[in-house]
Amino acid sequence: MSYSTTVGVDLAKNVIQVSIVSGRGNELSNRSLTRKKFAEFLGKQKLSLVAFESCASAHYWARAAQRHGHEARIIPAKSVAPFRQGHKTDSNDALAVAEAARRPNIKEAPMKTVEQQGLQAIHRSRDLLNQESTALSNHLRGLLMEFGIVIPKGFASLLKAVPDILEDGENELPDLYRPTLHRMYSRLLELRDDIEAMTREVDCLAKAHPVCSKLMALEGVGPIGALLLYATMGSGAAFSGSREFAAYLGLAPKQYSSGGKTNIVGLSKKIGNSRLRSVLILGARAYTYRLKEPKSSKDKWLKANIERNGECRAAIALANKNVRTAWAMVTQGTEYQRRPQLEMAA
């Protein structure tokens, strides 16, 4: 559907810049609104194409625009930048968003539902606790080394060693620091308990979810991978096919073409969803490591891939195949079934 006006929106915490562009490309207005006024604007504005630059709250406002009958699009920031004219200001940014949205070949960011964002928020919170736990562990190890105390590798080794260090009166740990060490150790235990509780919560959510529970049947895809896959993919309608979804995650090989020649140059770490890509590849590596005797045709393919390319590349190939299979499962409403390995004829 074509609209007579395009609305480009530059979002901020308290002030929202709105640029309205006519069908001929002329800017009709460019003004700043409060959050309340912008919500009222969406209800009063005639049906338009409303575009947002991908950032915090973009999905929230895009859903609000859809509820008022507008067509909403979320444009990646890197696609908006080439259309910015002059200095980087809110008004120029809003106009650039409108100009990018009017172009026919600009890739959009898939719009997330409230459920998808909720699942994503759970994972990010758990990820933050893991980062805090790792940072605190490294902090304690580094400080204790200053007093000649070296703790073996591993989180369990640290938890076991600290109480003994606190009780040892013959080490060089000063008494004035011991209360602080005890406080940091208590915080580390709290983080461990919180992470374990959130992990159990993720397990329960994944097993109870109608889509995630099916995705967990894929080789190397656990509860976290299944939740992130669904949170990113949704219904799968935002992607034209499984190849596009794999490319969106950065799991499809890059191509470099020049002079009629096309070369495959590996994966790009600068594009795609790095968090989900990492989870999927780690899960695939764990599966390839445990694979001993093939039990299905896919296991046989993976075993041959390992022997030919090594475990790392085979794991990436498995992650790619899992992503494409996941897209097909979600869009077609099917379940994953492993095909048994065909026996060789005698």
SS3 (DSSP) at 271: coil
Domain ranges within the chain, ordered by starting residue: 5-102, 114-208, 212-332
Q: Please report the DSSP string for 294-313 in residue order.
A: --BHHHHHHHHHHHHH-HHH
Rounded Cα gap, residues 332 and 319, in angstroms: 20
Q: Please state which architecture CATH assigns to domain 5-102.
A: 2-Layer Sandwich (3.30)
Distance of CA 37 to the CA centre of its chain: 32
SS3 (DSSP) at 76: coil
**Main-chain dihedrals φ then ψ at residue 75, nearest 5 degrees:** -105, 130
- Sign of the Cα torsion 238, 240, 246, 252 reads negative
Rounded Cα gap, residues 189 and 133, in angstroms: 9
Q: What's residue 346's pLDDT?
A: 36
Helix residue spans in 146-234 (DSSP H): 155-167, 178-208, 212-215, 223-233
Q: Please report the DSSP string for 106-153 in residue order.
A: PPPPPPPPHHHHHHHHHHHHHHHHHHHHHHHHHHHHHHHHTTT----S
Strand 71-75 and strand 15-22: the pairing is unpaired
Neighbours of 291 (CB within 10 A): 18
Q: What is the DSSP code (8-state) at residue 81?
A: G
| Opening angle at CA 235, ends 320 and 331, nearest 5 | 65
Q: What's residue 262's pLDDT?
A: 53
Q: What's residue 254's pLDDT?
A: 64
Query: pLDDT of the chain along its 346 residues, tens only?
Result: 678 899 999 999 999 999 999 999 999 999 999 999 999 999 999 999 999 999 989 999 999 999 999 999 999 999 999 999 999 999 999 999 999 999 988 888 889 999 999 999 999 999 999 999 999 999 999 999 999 999 999 999 999 999 999 999 889 999 999 999 999 999 999 999 999 999 999 999 999 999 999 999 999 999 999 999 999 999 999 898 999 999 888 887 765 555 655 555 556 565 667 889 999 999 999 999 998 888 889 999 999 999 999 999 999 999 999 999 999 999 999 999 877 765 544 3
Rounded Cα gap, residues 67 and 24, in angstroms: 26
